[in-house]
Structure 1
Amino acid sequence: MKIAILTVGDELLAGETENTNASWLARQLAERGASVARILVVPDETDTIAAYVREWSAEFDAVAVTGGLGGTHDDVTMDAVAVAFDREVVVDPDALEAVTESARAFADSNPDIVDEYDLDIDLEAWAEMPDGARMLDNPAGLAPGCVLENVYVFPGVPDEMRATFAGVSCEFGGDAVSETVYTDAPEGALVTTLEELRDRFDVVVGSYPAPRGEPNRVKVTATDRGRVDEATAWLRERIQTVPASDANDR
């Protein structure tokens, strides 16, 4: 399963907010055997979001979009996904019920805030999504996500994104298998060995230099556990390795 991750937000491009959603999602998907093929940050622009959603939906098995949900002026992601699939934006009944319940629970728990700021939330605006989409419950916040064909739309607030993803995590998977080998050998000394490793076993090899004083990482990936085990055993016979426990303690 090849997946593309599209993160939305002017604040990400300005460096005002760290893009933890992309790295967290990538780890979650990789742990489930999926392969993340693209990660991109785009601004809060309907046409830009729609263009990538349209292109990537056709190219990959799934697209995960985070950010830009809600009822404020810069929350355009739902509109953009609707444009990408030539759909109308409608008030989803299930989403409206969920938003109404979340708003009521917040008001009951925070009466002082509601009174002080005279909160008047346009619940229907928060419950809008592309016609025909499946609503994704957001148990940690107000803005629900949705699924339209193979595009999954999640909130941008990290806690809300993670809670919403949990409800559909079982829908992502694949047969990619990886193992990491740690070594104190400099990356330049590994070139010939890693090229032979890749060609001999037909595996994907990633070489990742670490900060001074920490071991470098070599990641071996394939779709067959036996091939990965055979390849890493071959590699360990040819380079000086560091046990994973020692590497993690440094």
Structure 2
Amino acid sequence: MAMSLRLSPGPHSLWDEPLVISVHGLAPAQPVTLRASLRDEKRELFQASARYQADAGGQLDLARAPALGGSYSGVEPMGLFRTLRSETPSERLVKRDVQTPFLVDLKVYEGHDPQPTKVLAQVVHERGFLGPGVKRIPVREGSVRATLFLPPGAGPFPGIIDLHGTGGGLCEYRASLLAGHGFAVLALAYFRFEDLPKELTDLHLGYFEEALDYMLQHPEESPTSGSCHP
């Protein structure tokens, strides 16, 4: 049996979608190291790795097999994604353009060497942020600077105003994923974006009231369910 690394569903999935990761065609009890890596839009490298051992049939299922060390230990079906880290301590993994996916390179290496070199199997998996039919609508209404994400269908949908992004700017990745679960989500910038204030100390509460009014008047958003989530 040819060795293979399988991800299901594949080769595409959403960033918040669980994956089934398995390796087939190994020798019984064979030691291997799995590594995931991706580069963000700034070309910063993020990686995670873990050591595993195949079962008596030469199979490895991350939903059942415990990691024996590395970036994590124990049974962690999504550990390779959850523990992705940059070698630069201050860098966080943030999706800046939700219209494009992250490309995650997954490799199976022979043995448990801390710096393995022999690749046994490899796949590249796309992890996206816009679900099928989700609409992305830039919003420049009055002083509101935002992006509205709408689920597929006619609505009305329960509404959320997402204030994610403590460093400023317009942060869309959480809002885009929530829209895939049936919410109308306004990703709202509130400082350090376009003509908005540069500092938090210059904010006016009327800005958030204006954003809430926009959501409550939108035809595809349920007027009884507007809420703010920082």
Same fold (TM over 0.5): no
If the length of structure 1 is used for normalisation, what is the TM-score? Answer: 0.29
Greater per-residue helix proportion: 1
Greater per-residue strand proportion: 2
If the length of structure 2 is used for normalisation, what is the TM-score? Answer: 0.31
